[in-house]
Amino acid sequence: MTANTEEQELKDRISLIESMIAEGRRTTESWGWIFVFWGVAYYVAIAWSAWGNHRVPAWNITMTAAMLVTFGVVVWRKFGGTQKSQPVTTFGRAVTSVWMAVGISFMVLIPSLGMGGRSNSNLVVAVIGTLLGTANAASSMILKWKLQFACAVVWWALAVISCIGTHAQSFYGLLVANFFCQIVFGIYGMIAQSRKQKECRAGQGVSHA
């Protein structure tokens, strides 16, 4: 009897962990728009720096503005928006902490590179690739999400290319990595969230009927 009880408790714990991981993925998918938003912000910074030939102000100003907008929306969703009533799981908090830490790293490092006169484009791209690769890898390991780990590999590959490759290789690598790992991945998350919400509403409708 005791063995059966322990086995059932183990199954319950495994089921709980799996449900928390699934909830963590849903939380990440619900923030898919942020990936798209930051992808667009990177393209704005790239275009600005290429057009005006002022790389430091372009990246510093764009990244700072994007961070402020993101922070404002996060606060609004937490305290006054649609996410207020949704519970936050341990996995969700862990993933959020990872991305917050990376965001703070961006805010500290990018302006510092500019003020120190070390903001040549290849170095900035290598920093971006390394930080985003780290964030995606940590998140994917927490959530056991192979697709997001693939994004981490792409970002890390970009960092390597930027360190050993030419300016053109670094530039085009950033365009490609940003498109697939920010824009496409973010849109995928938004579509997945929308699909699950429809399935949930359909299930609720059937249960009420």
- 67-86 pLDDT per residue, tens: 888 888 877 766 665 544 45
- Higher per-residue confidence, 160 vs 85: 160
Strands, DSSP E only, in 108-203?
none
Q: Stretch 59-66: mean pLDDT, rounded?
A: 82
- Higher per-residue confidence, 134 vs 79: 134
pLDDT of res. 49: 78
pLDDT of res. 70: 84
Indicate the pLDDT class of residue 53, thresholds 50, 70 and 90. low
The per-residue pLDDT of the chain, averaged, comes to 81
pLDDT of res. 146: 93
Tokens of 91: 């996995």
- Candidates 119, 145, 149, 144; CA nearest to 132 is 149
Q: Is the pLDDT of residue 65 over 70?
A: yes
CA torsion, points 11, 13, 14, 19, in degrees to nearest 10? 120
Q: What are phi and psi of 122, to 5 degrees?
A: -65, -40
- CA gap 140, 98 in Å, rounded: 11
pLDDT of res. 55: 53
